[in-house]
Structure 1
């Protein structure tokens, strides 16, 4: 079976909002994430994906957990990290041109928006407290 490895960033602002992205032609939101490239650590992937998808520089604070699932016959392993943003956004620089919007979502907004990965919703709500 084919395998895919990726990283995802949980970034909470000082005012308790979660950094999220929305893809083109879609109304669903997700935390910044993407595939690990050859020679890259999960932490390096996480930092790169956040920069590409949101324009923010981040530093990894700690590893949170690893989610393993199967999507369309592919074994998917995603490393989730808590990250802290550094400075302001330089704008979306997504090489795949998938990401069209970046936003900081509050606890109440998180409850209302549609999530790409519905299984993450309760975790994200807990993170925001």
Structure 2
């Protein structure tokens, strides 16, 4: 790279489909990547952290909510070349439910999110964050199949 900059390297994110009934928790991003789009709670995996630990920590940091055990769903490979500072994320998607279904999400990181709300899966707000939008358009469904 020029100017002594290190080459960008992929980072790992853990993102949570937090489910309540047939709704999913989404917040409007305030970020250089996907600004003003609706996204799931989540964030960077820290060194030595499990996917479940990261999911619980990120949901708590962003919304104040505790979550039940997580379940691995899928992984995506996301390269953002069209932004000022290109980046590459390997994103781990997990599913969870709130530990307390009556607890309302709080916006604890107002510099990163405009607020959280529950949205019916069949009536999601727009625009969605790119990786989530691709999953939705491909027919992905985070809800467990009935037994």
Range into which the TM-score falls when normalised by the shorter chain: 0.7 to 0.9
Structure with the larger strand share? 1
Give the deviation of 1:47 after TM superposition: 1.1
Structure 2 gaps of 5+ residues are 1-7
Aligned length: 126
CA distance in 1, matches of 2:139, 2:60: 20
**Residues 1:19 and 2:25 are matched in the alignment:** yes
Instruction: Name the SS for the 1:85 alignment partner.
Output: coil
Structure 1 gaps of 5+ residues are none
Contact preservation (8 Å) 1:52, 1:92: no
Give the deviation of 1:113 after TM superposition: 1.8
Structure with the larger helix share? 1
Q: Residue 72 of structure 2 corresponds to which residue in structure 1?
A: 63
**Residues 1:101 and 2:107 are matched in the alignment:** no
- The alignment's TM-score, normalised by the length of structure 2, stands at 0.72
Contact preservation (8 Å) 2:43, 2:58: yes
Q: For the structure 1 residues 124 and 81, does the alpha-carbon distance in structure 2 shift closer, same or farther, using more than 3 Å as the test?
A: farther
Instruction: Name which one, 1 or 2, has greater alpha-carbon Rg.
Output: 2
CA distance in 1, matches of 2:69, 2:76: 18
Q: What's the RMSD between the two structures over aligned residues?
A: 2.5
Runs of 4+ in structure 1 over 6 Å off: none
Q: Residue 7 of structure 1 corresponds to which residue in structure 2?
A: 14
